[in-house]
Amino acid sequence: MAREDGRGPDQLRPVKITRSWLAHAEGSVLVEFGGTKVLCAASVQDSVPRWRRGSGLGWITAEYAMLPRATNTRSDRESVRGKIGGRTHEISRLIGRSLRACVDYKALGENSIVLDCDVLQADGGTRTAAITGAYVALADAIAWMRKRKMCPGDPLVNSVAAVSVGIVGATPLLDLCYTEDVAAETDMNVVMTGTGEFVEVQGTAEGVPFDRSTLDALLDLAATGCTELTLRQRESLS
Amino acid sequence: MAREDGRGPDQLRPVKITRSWLAHAEGSVLVEFGGTKVLCAASVQDSVPRWRRGSGLGWITAEYAMLPRATNTRSDRESVRGKIGGRTHEISRLIGRSLRACVDYKALGENSIVLDCDVLQADGGTRTAAITGAYVALADAIAWMRKRKMCPGDPLVNSVAAVSVGIVGATPLLDLCYTEDVAAETDMNVVMTGTGEFVEVQGTAEGVPFDRSTLDALLDLAATGCTELTLRQRESLS
Amino acid sequence: MAREDGRGPDQLRPVKITRSWLAHAEGSVLVEFGGTKVLCAASVQDSVPRWRRGSGLGWITAEYAMLPRATNTRSDRESVRGKIGGRTHEISRLIGRSLRACVDYKALGENSIVLDCDVLQADGGTRTAAITGAYVALADAIAWMRKRKMCPGDPLVNSVAAVSVGIVGATPLLDLCYTEDVAAETDMNVVMTGTGEFVEVQGTAEGVPFDRSTLDALLDLAATGCTELTLRQRESLS
Amino acid sequence: MAREDGRGPDQLRPVKITRSWLAHAEGSVLVEFGGTKVLCAASVQDSVPRWRRGSGLGWITAEYAMLPRATNTRSDRESVRGKIGGRTHEISRLIGRSLRACVDYKALGENSIVLDCDVLQADGGTRTAAITGAYVALADAIAWMRKRKMCPGDPLVNSVAAVSVGIVGATPLLDLCYTEDVAAETDMNVVMTGTGEFVEVQGTAEGVPFDRSTLDALLDLAATGCTELTLRQRESLS
Amino acid sequence: MAREDGRGPDQLRPVKITRSWLAHAEGSVLVEFGGTKVLCAASVQDSVPRWRRGSGLGWITAEYAMLPRATNTRSDRESVRGKIGGRTHEISRLIGRSLRACVDYKALGENSIVLDCDVLQADGGTRTAAITGAYVALADAIAWMRKRKMCPGDPLVNSVAAVSVGIVGATPLLDLCYTEDVAAETDMNVVMTGTGEFVEVQGTAEGVPFDRSTLDALLDLAATGCTELTLRQRESLS
Amino acid sequence: MAREDGRGPDQLRPVKITRSWLAHAEGSVLVEFGGTKVLCAASVQDSVPRWRRGSGLGWITAEYAMLPRATNTRSDRESVRGKIGGRTHEISRLIGRSLRACVDYKALGENSIVLDCDVLQADGGTRTAAITGAYVALADAIAWMRKRKMCPGDPLVNSVAAVSVGIVGATPLLDLCYTEDVAAETDMNVVMTGTGEFVEVQGTAEGVPFDRSTLDALLDLAATGCTELTLRQRESLS
């Protein structure tokens, strides 16, 4: 089965990571996975949430959102509706957990970093692009802090990258674009460290439940994708 | 490592499924996984959401919530705070997706079933107990509908059950209670069909990222647990 | 006029008070008035609201809510709608006021007790069952506190119980079930102390305004009911 | 015990009912009970809420609110806080129920009347002043409708008036002002028809529970007050 | 073109300023511009918002709202809808900015004054009436403070008044009533000090964009109106 | 007085208009006024709001928002706070009114265009950049509609552009950047058509009230700026 953009089943879309896209943020990245564009801003705060004060430990949190016309059809703003939808909540939490996996809170000291991931244009894989880009913004923000000697140690103990995989028409595919995502029977988002361990594995049978061998094939594919993305992050940061 | 309640690492807590716990609901179950008690109510509606009208297809949805004193420390009501938290949203969506995996929408006709899963007492695994109990409530509600000839066919094409697994002190454990859940380095919720396929796999590295062999061990353990829970569901329904 | 469940006009429905229904709460009761089931949890907090700090006095508050499928037809969750309805507010306030009538704030010290009354199943009289059950949960919570020497004195100076009365088809009836409540011309909720004084009297002409002799008959009936409920509370607590 | 404004215990404060205070409303009244000033506006709508459509019956509803500086200390606006407080809800519901007691829905036809009662200045008894004034605004609105032949019959079958009574320092007092209200051990709001029946009786023990003879004394006093207020309403309308 | 109430194009409607309309507020005014009636209450607080603490400077803020039946057709309460509309926000901010223009924060000391402007009846020009009346209430509140020696100096350094102007059928008109406002092609609200400078100029082309000469004519007219209103304020305060 | 970026007092910052920045929107522009970057998306809908149905007329509306890290310090998301702030409301309304001034509703037919203006980076003048960019996005969306013959005529009857002007240190300056905006005594936003008429004039004395000659100088400066911006819009569209 040919993919609509001519990629092989185990090929990523063109990945573009533009650092320092914003003037004010301590770290900022415009990350593109094909037609998906996410603006990631890392904001440093020299304080931690109330429940963590006095612990000597830092904190990392994330907020994900989509501009109303990021998608093919305009969707209402969550600020206008007055509440945040379940999907937004879920993805914000996933991004936060993922990035916390590569940070040493003690070395960070009692500082916080907020990662705002705003989808400017959506074509599938917005959460995985957000995690992959947010890591680079986080690395820049931490470099900014270290230059100012804000941290007692080096808080960045690893890197994280994320990719989506799925079964479309019985074939396992890497990095689904929107039309593939809609057609997928099974859909999985995988977050891995730069050293190849899993941080998050979220697989969902959209239509037909899947067996263990399918799961294994998808995990293999995801590992390939994350390895490749880790390389792109390193190139971008060097 | 001994578990605090003396269980083996691959043993479920005592499971209790009490059907028809409520007088009004078309299907209702009080499900207990050890100290975790979830009241699952299935409500039949002879209509579908607007976006599905005229399709001839049914719909299944779920809402999860926790009573303020289900937990060791009282938490504020979401109705009083005026908004639903991210965790609640996320679990409601998970339960809905899980149960949709065992239903044939066409055979259901243009009817909806809402599954309300209210945690009366929490001791770990509330979402997996909710899914396991909600399936039984759903089966009862569908039987109620079929007796009234509301469905064009038999909508129940499979069963679903769910269990949590995790790594505590390097040991993979099945069906974590609250203290184990808090101590877990890696935590995974797995939803499987009665025929042994995966519906949802959600693994999270709480502390240390995990490798593929750990993931494999956890999936094996979860499969054992879901097989056992499927048996309990069948016994309860027969 | 015969009542649908064969009771005499001045007879209560079967009352069942199950203490310690929840593992975590300092006091908890599942109270049943016939088909009405309310779960009452008393949560002790060693602090008081801001406006009361430094006064040396304690505080008692209550929150009432109904599960979506407590009723014959499913109702939307208040947390999902994003606001609490007037009826919920009104009943929460009534329960709080009622229980405050049997507590000596000075003897309680600067501690608070929150009473959560969640209706699991509704068949009329949910607020009166809630008050009657919450008193027992409160007594248990206060006993728990006294064992831990948290209170400067004995805060429990009386008991409270509540019952509904109404005129259905010209006959005054005690403890209305749902179908009687709907049919009632006049409906009254009465909260009394264990020593026979009134705490709250709330009478409403649903259809036809009522005269003084009707009011008197209803108050007599309510006094009978509250005396009986006080006995049940004492039996349960001994 | 002398009252601070020199009234006898069974005397109302000066009552002033100014009709047609607003230019746009179909009925409007500025009602004053001493220092309490409530602006009551009756708005006619030629439709009914959805659940009542096609029934041939009308509907009456009410909304109560207080300006931020009606009270001695400024309170926050409920619109700014984003939610309506329990007290506001409770009083709005009370006013609605009270006025529905004097209306024949069939004679009203499928029309609605909304009664907005906005407290411009508060000095105790705002809810009872609101009910007493809203009745006059309602009567004017119904006259306006009948002139336009909007109603199939005469919807006004009775009148309603309301007054507060309470025990202050062991003495039963009529029509409590703010300082008396704060000092009251027992507080009761009574709504009566022009023909002397009860519509609502809401008695609350603020401090000490009260016995039947106290209740009887308060009801007697309230009946006196409502009779007097009914006279004032008639004078105002003639 | 004759105006419906017989005024000349450069004539204000009858202006009425009633001071001390409320008993509790430190300053209060019922201001009337023809059929427009706004109740302005100034509330003194001996504190400032958090961001201003320790600065030695005071603060002035305002809130504007409309009663539901101030208008010809009843509108929903913002408290019931759960959010404040854009128009309300915009006008509240305008009133606050306008009044801050005549206050010396240093002379005010760390005190705040909140100006509540509630429209009881609307017939065009509610925001300009609110500003004009709120100034008088502010002056009274400041006098009240100075009598109590709360202010380090005299905070009132100028006065402000406001008026609307517009082009209706090619003629520039002063102080538009509602029907004129609806018919206006261009509509401008102008806030000026008692010494003749501009504080706010807000002109909007409702239909046809306007040229500089039209703008000049409207500004001239507004200056005339504000001069006249300043006189009325002085008369009222003397 | 030299400006920090070396501009003359009547000089605009570098203006950059990038069309078709988004793949999905019918019209989209990334507009830059120096460091201010606003993403404007025009979304076409073949329907109108309810109150306009059946009129044969179209509608234009706008929503303005700022990303959390558009500014120097991170601000909370309005979706998370659950309500839209007054400033956001005010600017959204201004943009909508401004763009409606260049559209013939009849020629548009019963179609709507929503203009989403999201500030990605803020350095003063975000609202004027938004209006100037949104006009270009609107023109593209209308061209898209006309190609598909959705409009009965040509809805674009004029163009609009906007600029800020202000008095900083007694000098009138064009197109204020953030530091100038903060320092300005008087601040004015002016929206003009491509043919030189005014659509909106909003002047505010931030500190000292201003006289007529200052107002005149600012209007002259604004006219210069809008003429220049109109040219840039034309170049971009040709």
Q: Which chains touch F (3 or more CB pairs under 8 A)?
A: A, E
Which one, of E61, E19, E16, lies nearest residue E43 by Cα?
E61
Which one of C90, C190, C206, C221 makes the best mutation probe of the D interface by having the most chain D beta carbons within 10 Å?
A: C90
In the predicted model, what is the mean pLDDT of residues A78-88? 89
Q: What is the pLDDT of residues A68-80, one digit of tens each?
A: 999 999 999 999 8
Which one, of D11, D9, D12, lies nearest residue D170 by Cα?
D9
Q: Give the closest-approach CA distance of F143 to chain E in angstroms.
A: 23
Helix axes A212-237, A126-147, angle to 10 degrees: 40
A30 exposed, middle or buried (CB, 10 Å; 0-12, 13-18, 19+)?
buried
Radius of gyration of chain E (CA): 18
Neighbours of B81 (CB within 10 A): 12
Residue F83: what pLDDT?
A: 86
Neighbours of C67 (CB within 10 A): 25
DSSP assignment of C94-113: HHHHHHHTTB-HHHH-S-EE
pLDDT confidence bin for B1, thresholds 50/70/90: low
Q: Give the closest-approach CA distance of C183 to chain D in angstroms.
A: 16
Q: Which chains touch B (3 or more CB pairs under 8 A)?
A: A, C
In the predicted model, what is the mean pLDDT of residues E187-199? 97
Q: Which residues of B touch A86 (CB under 8 A)?
A: 84, 89-90, 92-93
Given C84, C101, C210, which is nearest D209 (Cβ)? C101
Give the C-alpha separation, F231 to D151, whole Å: 64
Per the CB < 8 A criterion, the answer to whether B132 and B162 are in contact is: yes
Per the CB < 8 A criterion, the answer to whether A68 and A75 are in contact is: yes
Interface contact flag, E205 F200, Cβ < 8 Å: yes
Interface contact flag, B89 A86, Cβ < 8 Å: yes
> Is B127 known to sit in a ligand binding site?
yes
Q: Which chains touch C (3 or more CB pairs under 8 A)?
A: B, D
Which residues neighbour A135 within 8 Å (Cβ) at sequence distance 6 or greater?
Answer: A99, A102, A159, A160, A161, A233
Q: What is the pLDDT of residues A135-179, one digit of tens each?
A: 999 999 999 999 999 999 999 999 999 999 999 988 999 999 999
In the predicted model, what is the mean pLDDT of residues B157-168? 97
Which residues neighbour C148 within 8 Å (Cβ) at sequence distance 6 or greater?
Answer: none
Per the CB < 8 A criterion, the answer to whether C199 and C193 are in contact is: yes
Low-confidence ranges of chain D (pLDDT < 70): 1
Give the C-alpha separation, E95 to E191, whole Å: 9
Give the C-alpha separation, F4 to E226, whole Å: 38
Interface contact flag, C78 B74, Cβ < 8 Å: no
In the predicted model, what is the mean pLDDT of residues E57-64? 97
| Residue reference for tokens 């209702």 | B28
Q: What is the pLDDT of residues B205-225, one digit of tens each?
A: 977 899 999 999 999 999 999
Residue E81: what pLDDT?
A: 87
Q: Give the closest-approach CA distance of B197 to chain A in angstroms.
A: 5
Interface contact flag, C197 D204, Cβ < 8 Å: no
Instruction: State yes or no: pLDDT of A1 exceeds 70.
Output: no
| Residue reference for tokens 């996320």 | B90
Residue B82: what pLDDT?
A: 85
- Return the residue of A nearest to F119 by Cα: A67
Binding-site residue numbers of D for phosphate are: 87, 125-127
Residue C2: what pLDDT?
A: 79
Q: How far apart are the first and last CA of chain C?
A: 37
Give the C-alpha separation, F165 to F174, whole Å: 5
Per the CB < 8 A criterion, the answer to whether E31 and E136 are in contact is: yes
Output the CA angle C201-C203-C208, nearest 5 degrees: 165
In the predicted model, what is the mean pLDDT of residues E52-63? 96
In chain A, which residues touch F (CB < 8 A)?
22-25, 28, 35, 39, 41, 43, 45, 63, 65, 67-72, 74, 77-80, 82-84, 88, 114, 116, 118, 120-121, 123
Which one of A103, A189, A201 makes the best mutation probe of the B interface by having the most chain B beta carbons within 10 Å?
A: A201
Q: What is the pLDDT of residues E81-102, one digit of tens each?
A: 888 888 999 999 999 999 999 9
Q: Which residues of A touch F82 (CB under 8 A)?
A: 82-83
In the predicted model, what is the mean pLDDT of residues C59-85? 94
Give the C-alpha separation, B64 to B62, whole Å: 7
Residue D1: what pLDDT?
A: 63
Q: What is the pLDDT of residues A45-71, one digit of tens each?
A: 999 999 999 999 999 999 999 999 999
Q: Give the closest-approach CA distance of B120 to chain A in angstroms.
A: 23
Reported ipTM: the value is 0.94
Instruction: Kindly state the DSSP code that residue B64 receives in the 8-state scheme.
Output: E
Low-confidence ranges of chain F (pLDDT < 50): none
Nearest 5°: phi and psi at B75? -115, 155
Interface contact flag, D211 C205, Cβ < 8 Å: no
Give the C-alpha separation, D120 to C225, whole Å: 43
Give the C-alpha separation, F229 to F11, whole Å: 11
Which one of A13, A20, A21, A24 makes the best mutation probe of the F interface by having the most chain F beta carbons within 10 Å?
A: A24
Give the C-alpha separation, D67 to C57, whole Å: 32
Sheet bearing F27-33, strands edge to edge? F15-19, F27-33, F36-45, F112-121, F59-66
Which residues neighbour C29 within 8 Å (Cβ) at sequence distance 6 or greater?
Answer: C17, C18, C19, C21, C39, C40, C133, C134, C136, C137, C140
> Is E87 known to sit in a ligand binding site?
yes
In the predicted model, what is the mean pLDDT of residues C133-161? 97
> Is B196 known to sit in a ligand binding site?
no
> Hey, is A80 helix, strand or coil?
helix
Strands (E), C34-111: 36-45, 59-66
pLDDT confidence bin for C1, thresholds 50/70/90: low
Residues in a beta bridge with F18: F30
Q: Lowest-confidence range among B36-50, B74-88, E64-78?
A: B74-88
Q: For the CA atoms of E1, E7, E11, E14, what is the dihedral angle to 10 degrees?
A: -150
Q: Which residues of A touch B199 (CB under 8 A)?
A: 204-205, 209
pTM to 2 decimals? 0.91
Interface contact flag, B74 C123, Cβ < 8 Å: no
**Chain-wide mean pLDDT for chain A?**
96
Residue D205: what pLDDT?
A: 92
Give the C-alpha separation, C232 to D3, whole Å: 44
Per the CB < 8 A criterion, the answer to whether A94 and A115 are in contact is: no
In chain D, which residues touch E (CB < 8 A)?
22-25, 28, 35, 39, 41, 43, 45, 63, 65, 67-72, 74, 77-80, 82-84, 88, 114, 116, 118, 120-121, 123
CA atoms within 13 A on the CB side of C11: 11
Which one, of D169, D182, D167, D164, lies nearest residue D214 by Cα?
D167
| Residue reference for tokens 């959600």 | B202
The token pair that represents B229 in the structure block: 């829970």
pLDDT confidence bin for E207, thresholds 50/70/90: confident
Neighbours of E205 (CB within 10 A): 25
In chain F, which residues touch A (CB < 8 A)?
22-25, 28, 35, 39, 41, 43, 45, 63, 65, 67-72, 74, 77-80, 82-84, 88, 114, 116, 118, 120-121, 123
Per the CB < 8 A criterion, the answer to whether B107 and B142 are in contact is: no
CA dist list (Å): C9 to C5, C128, C132, E41, F69: 11, 18, 20, 56, 68
Burial string for A43-82 (b: 16+ CB within 10 Å, else e) reads bbbeebeeeeeeeebbbbbbbbbbbbbbbeebbebbbbeb
Give the C-alpha separation, D75 to D54, whole Å: 42
Which one, of B165, B103, B166, B106, lies nearest residue B139 by Cα?
B103
Q: Which residues of A touch F45 (CB under 8 A)?
A: 74
Q: Give the closest-approach CA distance of B117 to chain C in angstroms.
A: 10
The token pair that represents A104 in the structure block: 């040493």
Q: Which chains touch E (3 or more CB pairs under 8 A)?
A: D, F
Which one, of B169, B167, B176, lies nearest residue B217 by Cα?
B167
Torsion sign across C-alpha atoms C227, C229, C231, C237: negative
DSSP assignment of F97-146: HHHHTTB-HHHH-S-EEEEEEEEEE-SS-HHHHHHHHHHHHHHHHHHHHH
In the predicted model, what is the mean pLDDT of residues C89-111? 96
> Is E125 known to sit in a ligand binding site?
yes
- Return the residue of A nearest to F72 by Cα: A24
Q: Which residues of F touch A88 (CB under 8 A)?
A: 79
